[in-house]
Structure 1
Amino acid sequence: MSATPTTGPVSPGRFTPGRTLRLGLSRIRYETTVYFRAGDTVFFTFLFPVVLLGIFSVAFDGLGNVGTNPDGSGGISQAAYYLPGMIAAGILLSGVQNLGVDIAIERGDGTLKRLGGTPLPVLSYFIGKMGQVLVTSLAQVALLLLLARVAFGVELPADPANWVTFAWVYLLGITTSAVLGIAISRLPRTGKSATAVIIPPLLVLQFISGVFLSFTMLPSWLQTVASVFPLKWIAQGMRAAFLPESFAAAEQGGSWNLPWVAVVLGIWLVAGLIVCRLTFRWIRKDG
Structure 2
Amino acid sequence: MTMPSTLAMGRSRGFVEVLQLIRQKDAVIFTFAFPALLTILLGLIFDAPVSPGSPTTHSQVFAAGMIAYGILSTAFISMGVGIAVDREDGTLKRLRGTPVTAGAYFIGKIVLVFFAALFEVLLLLLVGVLLFDLPVFLSVDRWLRFGWLLVLSVVACTLLGIAASSLARSARSAPAVLNLPVLVLQFTSGIFVHIAALPSAMVNVSALFPVKWMGQGFRSVFLPDALAAQEVAGSWEPGKTALVLGAWCLIGLVLSLLTFRWSRR
1:79-120 residue CA offsets vs partner (Å, 9 max, x unmatched): 322122110001111111111111012112221111112233
Q: Secondary structure at the match of 2:167?
A: coil
Tell me the residue number matched to 2:175. Answer: 195
Deviates more, 1:101-110 or 1:121-130: 121-130
Aligned length: 265
Q: How far does residue 145 in structure 1 lie from its aligned partner after superposition?
A: 1.4
1:256 matched to 2:236? The reply is yes
Aligned to 2:250: 270
Structure 1: tracts of 5 or more residues without a match:
2-13
Deviations 1:162-196 (A, max 9, x none): 11111111111111111111111111112221111
Partner of 2:51: 67
Matched position secondary structure for 1:236: helix
Alignment of 1:218-237 (within 5 A): 218-237=198-217
Structure number, greater radius of gyration: 1
Q: Which structure is higher in helix share?
A: 2
Amino acid at match of 1:114: R
Give 1:5's aligned residue.
Answer: none
1:2-151 aligned within 5 A = 15-17=3-5, 20-38=6-24, 41-61=27-47, 64-68=48-52, 73-151=53-131
What is the rounded CA distance, in whole Å, between the counterparts of 1:270 and 1:22 in structure 2?
Answer: 22
Aligned equivalents of 1:210 and 1:109: distance in 2?
37
The one-letter code of the counterpart of 1:56 is L
Supply the distance in 2 between the matched residues of 1:89 and 1:124 (Cα, whole angstroms): 27
- Could you tell me how far apart the structure 2 residues matched to 1:198 and 1:67 are? 36
Whether the aligned pair in 1 keeps the contact of 2:43 and 2:63 (CA below 8 Å) is no
CA gap 1:85/1:41 in 2 versus in 1, 3 angstroms: farther
Q: What SS does the aligned partner of 1:185 have?
A: helix
* Residue matched to 1:163: 143
Does residue 180 (structure 1) correspond to residue 160 (structure 2)? The answer is yes
Structure 2 CA distance for partners of 1:79 and 1:218, relative to 1, 3 Å: closer
Asked whether the equivalents of residues 63 and 134 of structure 2 are also in contact (C-alpha less than 8 Å), the reply is: no
Q: Distance in 1 between matches of 2:55 and 2:188?
A: 24
How far apart in 2 are the matches of 1:102 and 1:66? Answer: 39
Distance apart, 1:36 and its partner CA: 3.6
Unpaired runs of 5+ residues, structure 2, are none
Identity of aligned residues (%): 42
| Closer/same/farther in 2, CA of residues 40 and 206 from structure 1, 3 Å limit | farther
Query: What is the RMSD computed on CA atoms of the aligned residues?
Result: 2.0
Letter in 2 for 1:132: L
C-alpha contact 1:104 1:185 (8 A) present in aligned 2: yes
> CA separation of 1:280/1:141 partners in 2, compared to 1, >3 Å: closer, same or farther?
same
Q: Secondary structure at the match of 2:263?
A: coil
Higher mean C-alpha deviation, range 233-242 or range 115-124: 115-124
Q: Measure, in 2, the Cα distance between the counterparts of 1:200 and 1:44.
A: 18
Residues 82 and 212 of structure 1 are in contact (CA less than 8 Å); yes or no, is this contact kept in structure 2? yes
Note closer, same or farther for the CA distance 1:27–1:67 as it changes in structure 2 (3 Å cut).
farther
